[in-house]
Structure 1
Amino acid sequence: MTTPATPLLSASAPLAGAAWRTTAQRAAIAVATAFLCATAQAQPDDYAEVNRLVRAGQLGDALTKVDQYLAGKPKDPQMRFLKGVIQTESGKTTDAVTTFTQLTQDFPELPEPYNNLAVLYAGQSQFDKARAALEMAIRTNPSYATAHENLGDVYAKLASQAYSKALQLDSNNTAVSPKLNLIRTLFAADAKGVKPAAAAPASQQAAAKPATPAAAPAPVAAAPAAPPTPAPVPAAPTPGAQGDVEAAVEAWAKAWSNKNMSGYLGAYAPNFTPTGGQSRKDWESERRSRIVPRSRIEVGINDLDVNVNGDRATARFHQTYRSDATNVSSRKTLEMVKSGNRWLILRESTGS
């Protein structure tokens, strides 16, 4: 199988197929805009001007602006991240790898540099390195949905290489060809802008079954089809439910900011499902180790959008997180369930 020279992954959203390069370039700018917004080390105008130049395609001017800023504040994480994005956009892959690698060393708690490093490794067909970088991103933030999906794409490419090697060694192995063809079909479909049959990213794609032949036309005398079953109507929100969910989200953020671990952990339902396969006990231990040692934490909730359906609710918002030397901005989704008179978190995801 010929390995495309273009990146497999997206810096802010999963992708596959021959559209890898275009999508990765567009997504890299988007994540650079959101990553570590409004840090205390720089004025918003500095970031806004660099992003304006990047969006205008004036990469040389943008890089000059970044270098001028970093000459005075060489440790600023957002400007360094922007520099890596600009280097990526400019085709300076080696420089971009160095920039993102240094960011992971100086700010190991940030998942985004690991993810973008994986983009670059995948573009060089170094899929083992890409896998390792994505696993670090997920270890840093188990709720980082993009890294999980990108990791699925990397596994798909590694599987493709393994199946190709198996066929080279044993061309009579009839079990390998269908698996290899499945993966090739997935990427070929995306190359034409057509979704694969499952309409799901590689990380969610189940092992496909052969297509079922179309049913023969019904005889003329066949009985008329039964009328379609009406779609279920979502349950109407309980009066005041939306406000209760909003208050629960704000209370969760406040407990996190105050390092109130009983209040913070108590905001999660007993059947809360941590991402990344962690147990509840391990997840709580990890959260304590990340929150308690910080000298200060500020969690901000903006653009909160709540949808309530009976005893279930979804809260989507823009979250800002500031602590010690870290400043991160991202989208977050909380799936919540009503327990008694409280709304508790059932699942949470970042970057979606």
Structure 2
Amino acid sequence: MRVSIWTILVCFAVAAFGPMAAAQELTLDSIAKLAERGNRVQALRQLDSFLEARPSHFEALLLKGDLLAEIGQTASAEAIYGSLIEAYPRRPEAFNNLAVLQAREGRFEEAADNLLGALETHPSYRVAYENLGKVYGQFASQAYSKALGVQSSEASGSLDLTLLSNPLPIPEASPSLTAEPPSASLASQRPQVELPQASASQTSTAPPVQHPPMEATESQSRTEPPRALPSPPTQAQASQTTAPETLTAPSPDAQSLPSQPPTVPPPAEAGVASAVRSWARAWSEQRVDDYLSFYSPSFRPQGGLARTEWASQRRSRLQSPTFIRVVLRNLLTPVLEGDRAIVTFIQSYSSDNYADVVEKRLVLRREAGEWRIVEEVTEP
């Protein structure tokens, strides 16, 4: 029997381009809706097909991590979140979601570090603030129980933390978050996941896991009760910093369009904000000498202390705790007055024996090209 050359070419084209065409027919919206109906295993299989053509697709990998976490494959989900953090260090979602899984296993220090990372990338994420408040509350509760010699009654698994983009709505790529492309394809970093056989409960009736927000509670061992953790920034406050994006699924055509360049603050204002964040980071990491170097020789301590006495006191307070966590939020645009700048923000502090939240104002002055703190005021 003779076979025409056209028949051979058609068969070759189907074999070569069939899988790619099938992957292009899949959309994240349809996959996410499938997962929302409880068909998580089938959704994961479709995600794998989708990722064959787009191995570094952020939204698809994030959704896969969320679904793996929901079906109990925590290690695989953590591996995906970790690879996303390396490839997309300016996006907060993977930081937050990895922290959620770590906190559920009682790894609170790791969780706090990743939540701080999320807030570094996007200072207005309400979910990250709420999660961090709950983790800090657990820290304080454990410290209080340890001081009393009793076991904490709250298990780590009972912390109701919230995943970002879990699994809908799928976040739209934002210029400010995607300015730094992935350094390498994530195809080799994605774990090989052995999917279980779909059961009736997974394919039809199982609803997606919901993570409702919950007020943070804290217990401290200090005799003076710390101030309550304030509510996350209001819409008016958030508009002065960075407003959270509305997260929607991008269309295939939109993904090919160039994004608008991110808004870059003036160099002086950016330098002030960077100095303040570096000061807070040195404090959190208990690098005493680096922390003190952010203060001008002419710094005047609040309360009338001599500078040498203040420096000795600060050194002791940074070295004594086993850990320190400092988070700044509502960091407003610095007010510049020549070589002076005024910055206001809300400061969340937590250690193994104390936690509080205060409003703070820093006055900085440019000295030898560096911004140094000349006044630090804790608002009543």
Q: What TM-score, normalized by structure 2, do the two folds share?
A: 0.38
- TM-score, normalised to structure 1, is 0.41
